[in-house]
Structure 1
């Protein structure tokens, strides 16, 4: 089955971003893809919270979500809209929420990012997602044309237990939309995505943000598709606002799991006493 990934350079104007993503939906369908994957924060990337707040909506009222649903229905294609910043989190905070949309434009699944990125980088960059966002509390698998799709977002990538739970629950494909910074991307992006594919014996699809954004941040790009043996099937490099394609054959999952049945060999175990 052919899939498409949209590697975005999302800006501070939601209307322009909506046009870009809807255009990517139409381009992916014209290119023969059964499903399009978009990055984290496909609707808005803006570090100026006062400016960004003027554009924030609930998922019922978000214009980009409405535009993507309409484009999916017109083109007859599945879409994993990687994530949007939306109103509705606990304590007045936002949610970082992804959506699975079917070819009729219906939302079949929602996932709120569980792990939030709070870190100070050596470059001087400082990120405090928990100050603005409320974390999700549930792992999600959606039934799609690709089979069972396990959902996650960006920083979730660093927590292997989430992907172990998704693979145990039957996920065949793991979607990891992201907006990785350049330093962390250069150091960890490829190795972590390949590790998640190898240990879960699933396909991994990771649509990413890329380039110098209007709000001053820089993102790493390199949207990837990785096979269940850890082989890279697509690497979009530093392309900006581009659609890339990969072929996925779910039969490869059974082959890999037959050759190396680690999922069947997983065992529960007692935790050690804390070190003193």
Structure 2
């Protein structure tokens, strides 16, 4: 099964971003991809961190969710919708949510980002918890590619989340890594998660200089269970594409059965 990750450089204009996402999703489908992944914050990289509150939607309603549903139906593919803001129970905060849409346009999974990014270095500072409420559920969905685990960006630094997903064929990581942290850690962490979980990792990123002055690292990529980067887009808009080889997953798990050798499981405390 062929999968694709979309890389964007999103702006403060929602409609502009929707048009870009549509064009890139169409391009990915034309390459034969059947599962398409958008990046984190694809609908909006606002001028202020509170801008996302104005476009937050109720689950099941809104232009962003309709767009994702319509694109899945029109292209006849599974779309994992990066992240969009959904209304939370906390005033002044949203949920940073990944929604999965099957080819019939219906949702088959929802994941609310659990780990909220915080970073300070010199003049660079981020604190997602000021405007985002954290989720608390590990989510895996069934697709034509088998079990797919859902994670978002900063989740990548918490290997216990990936372990909690159980055995997956693919784990997706829509992201908006900063240039600073991405340059240092992005590929290392992605390849580690693929190797230690014996699965493919598909990571879609924001990648470039944004209107709001922020610079994101990009380097969207597909990585196989042996840790090899199959395809990558460094910076700017683009599409990463490649095949999920179920036999290769089985070969890796058979030849190096590390998951069966684990000792420090949750049952041992």
TM range (shorter): over 0.9
Does structure 2 retain, via aligned residues, the 8 Å contact 1:25–1:68? no
2:135 corresponding residue in structure 1: 136
Give the TM-score taking structure 2 as reference length. Answer: 0.94
Unaligned runs of 5+ in 2: none
User: How do residues 191-210 of structure 1 correspond to structure 2 at under 5 angstroms?
Assistant: 191-210=188-207
User: How do residues 1-276 of structure 1 correspond to structure 2 at under 5 angstroms?
Assistant: 1-49=1-49, 51-122=51-122, 124-166=123-165, 169-238=166-235, 240-268=236-264
Once the two structures are TM-superposed, the CA of residue 92 in structure 1 deviates from its matched residue by 4.5
Q: In the aligned structure 2, how far is the partner of 1:35 from the partner of 1:50?
A: 31
Aligned residues: 267
Does structure 2 retain, via aligned residues, the 8 Å contact 1:176–1:206? yes
Q: In the aligned structure 2, how far is the partner of 1:104 from the partner of 1:10?
A: 27
Q: In the aligned structure 2, how far is the partner of 1:50 from the partner of 1:5?
A: 27
Choose 16-25 or 102-111, whichever is displaced more. 16-25
Unaligned runs of 5+ in 1: 272-276
Q: In the aligned structure 2, how far is the partner of 1:93 from the partner of 1:64?
A: 18
Q: In the aligned structure 1, how far is the partner of 2:84 from the partner of 2:27?
A: 21
Does structure 2 retain, via aligned residues, the 8 Å contact 1:44–1:85? no
Q: In the aligned structure 1, how far is the partner of 2:190 from the partner of 2:234?
A: 15
Once the two structures are TM-superposed, the CA of residue 121 in structure 1 deviates from its matched residue by 2.2
Q: In the aligned structure 1, how far is the partner of 2:221 from the partner of 2:51?
A: 32
What SS class does the counterpart of residue 233 from structure 1 fall into?
A: strand
What SS class does the counterpart of residue 90 from structure 1 fall into?
A: coil
Choose 17-26 or 29-38, whichever is displaced more. 17-26
Give the TM-score taking structure 1 as reference length. Answer: 0.92
